[in-house]
Amino acid sequence: MNKTAELYRMVTSQHICPFGLRSKDLLEREGFEVEDHQLTSREETDAFKQQYDVETTPQTFIDGKLIGGYDDLREYFGKGEAGQTGTTYTPVIAIFSVAALMTVGWQFASSSGLLSLSSLLLFIAVSMCFLAVQKLQDLYSFTQSFITYDLLAMRWLRYGYWYPFLEAYAGIGMITGLPALWVAPVSLFIGTVGAVSVFKAVYVDKRELKCACVGGDSNVPLGFISLSENLFMIGGGLLMLLS
């Protein structure tokens, strides 16, 4: 016997409700045939909300019973809360994973050895560039978080704005093979200051903070994985000098 559900969602020339689309997709994945009622104007939407005494759309009915919006529908099917909640290392893991795969791809295409110092340096450089881009998307938001734990940025706020540019410069310099003395001191400096700052904030002061390594609006906790960004910078600078 087919299961059916009624879905009321806003679909106008100016706005298509994303939660309406998510509700429809969830119902279909749960094996429901969806009677898709599209509310095509603000007046029609307001009339629906007034009729059923609800504050938002979409709204789903199953067997004539009002289930509610998208979050209510997920709860009905035992799916838990939608989206990312709480702190997570996912952004950092994603960046390092893609950087590693890009390194493997580049080295394979150039027939270079995968397990070599040049591979490691390339991985570090790509990771630094990705991390710099994350920060540069919103410098104000990044600095708002960064200045709460970076020891130099606390004293000289402008350093917080310079930091992503210095990180990008060091990463690009490593990739392009600029002279070591042009790049390594920058990487060593920002990496060392960052490592000391994170170590003090997390392991000495025992503060629970969010890391600005992937931008100011992230939920990455400040800790060892955050410290790895700075250790990579230090390692990249040393590799350039040694090679």
- Counting the structural domains of the chain, the total is 2
Domain interval for residue 164: 90-242
Q: Which long-range contacts (CB under 8 A, 24 or more apart) does 146-153 make?
A: 146/212, 146/216, 148/209, 149/197, 149/198, 149/201, 149/207, 149/209, 149/222, 150/193, 150/194, 150/197, 151/193, 151/196, 151/197, 151/200, 152/193, 152/197
Asked if pLDDT for residue 80 goes beyond 80, the answer is no
Q: Model confidence at 114, in pLDDT bands (50, 70, 90)?
A: low
85, part of any domain: no
Domain boundary among 14, 48, 76: 76
- 218 and 99 in a common domain: yes
- 120 and 12 in a common domain: no
pTM of the model: 0.78
- 71 and 94 in a common domain: no
Give the residue-averaged pLDDT of 174-182: 94
Residues 176 and 180: their CA atoms lie apart, in Å, by 11
- 236 and 147 in a common domain: yes
Burial of 201 (0-12, 13-18, 19+ CB in 10 A): buried
Q: What would the pLDDT profile of 36-68 be if each residue is shown by its tens digit?
A: 999 999 999 999 999 999 999 999 999 999 999
Domain boundary among 43, 76, 109: 76
Q: What would the pLDDT profile of 229-241 be if each residue is shown by its tens digit?
A: 899 999 999 999 9
- 133 and 37 in a common domain: no
* pLDDT at residue 1, as a whole number: 60
- 17 and 105 in a common domain: no
106, part of any domain: yes
82, part of any domain: no
Asked if pLDDT for residue 86 goes beyond 70, the answer is no
- 237 and 206 in a common domain: yes
81, part of any domain: no
- 133 and 41 in a common domain: no
Domain boundary among 35, 52, 76: 76
- 72 and 101 in a common domain: no
CATH code, domain carrying 40: 3.40.30.10
